[in-house]
Amino acid sequence: MTDIAIIAIRWALYIDLGLLFGLPLFALYTLGGDRIERGYLPIAAMIAILALIGAVLSVVGFAIQAASMAGLPLLHPDFALLRDLLGGTALGTALQVRLAALLVLLLCAALYDRAPRAVTITAGVAGALALGTLAWSGHGAAGEGNAGWVQLAADLVHLLAAGAWLSAIAAFFTLVAGKAVTADIQRVRIAALCLRGFAITGTVLVGLLLVTGIGNGIFLIGPAHIASLWQSTYGLLLLLKLALFAAMLGLAALNRYRLTPALSLAIEQRDTRLALQVLRRSLLIEGGLAVIIFGLVAWLGTLAPPISS
């Protein structure tokens, strides 16, 4: 039961911290970090809510892991062990850094109206730091020497790219969600503009995910274990993750080359209902696949990789 709780919290943290990094980034590269998005994409409110959720999840997750190590119930913690873990382990350091980053994000949400662009940039940096702590306390930090630093860097970039992609899906869905959006032509135009502007960024994100994914595979699987991947739980989960990622690529290509041009055409024809309906369905499926993939990643993080056998 403890392992399930740890996986569930890590899964939720991947999504929460991924959005905390990616949503400010989305506001910067699509909307310039200006106030224009407030009516359609309430960045400040999103940051505040996600930062609070992230803080609660982080503290609870740390307490569950400490209780698991001590073999004690969660409601009867070993405070001496908690102090040792907090002050003398990578897990504790990661928690402290993450909580500090989340505090900065809460301040960003409070100060957003005063300087939206500067605050959005700061929030993106703090979000990257918070999300990066998950790589710091995972398989990516298990390597040694120069190879270990390369492994950690690959894991970190992979995680940031995944967070940015998930956030783009969430932002696009927020922009086109609801039946009332059909009557708001300005909102539809902004959504179409963001979709077209994401083309280059999306290509870069996919490239980063592919390169770093291959790199992580080299470090965690090794060429000798590729043929026998299907024989282990780790390998089966990884193969499922790759299949879902391929499906996401297909949906992303559909959105870029079919649905986005169709939405632009619908705007010209002043009839966006059907185009928005199809786009919403595609984004919902793509986002669902991303959420499942993050769950698989959280599960994989609790299993020994093939290279260790």
CA distance 204 to 212: 12
Tokens standing for residue 218: 């080299």
CA nearest to 233, candidates 289, 296, 292, 290 = 296
| Mean pLDDT score, 279-303 | 93
CA nearest to 272, candidates 198, 178, 196 = 178
Q: Is the pLDDT score of 38 beyond 70?
A: no
pLDDT tens digits, one per residue of 253-265: 999 999 999 999 9
CA nearest to 82, candidates 291, 72, 232 = 72
* Predicted TM-score (pTM) of this structure: 0.90
The angle at the Cα of 87, spanning 84 to 91, to the nearest 5 degrees, equals: 90
Higher pLDDT, 177 or 295: 295
CA distance 248 to 254: 10
pLDDT tens digits, one per residue of 208-221: 999 998 888 887 78
When pLDDT is cut at 50, 70 and 90, the band that residue 72 belongs to is: low
pLDDT value at residue 140: 54
Residue whose structure tokens are 């499942």:
292
The 3-state secondary structure of 21-78, one letter per residue: HHHHHHHHHHHCCCHHHCCCCCHHHHHHHHHHHHHHHHHHHHHHHHHHHHCCCCCCCC
10 Å CB burial of residue 28 (0-12, 13-18, 19+) is middle
CA distance 77 to 230: 39
pLDDT tens digits, one per residue of 78-117: 667 777 777 777 778 888 999 999 999 999 999 988 888 8
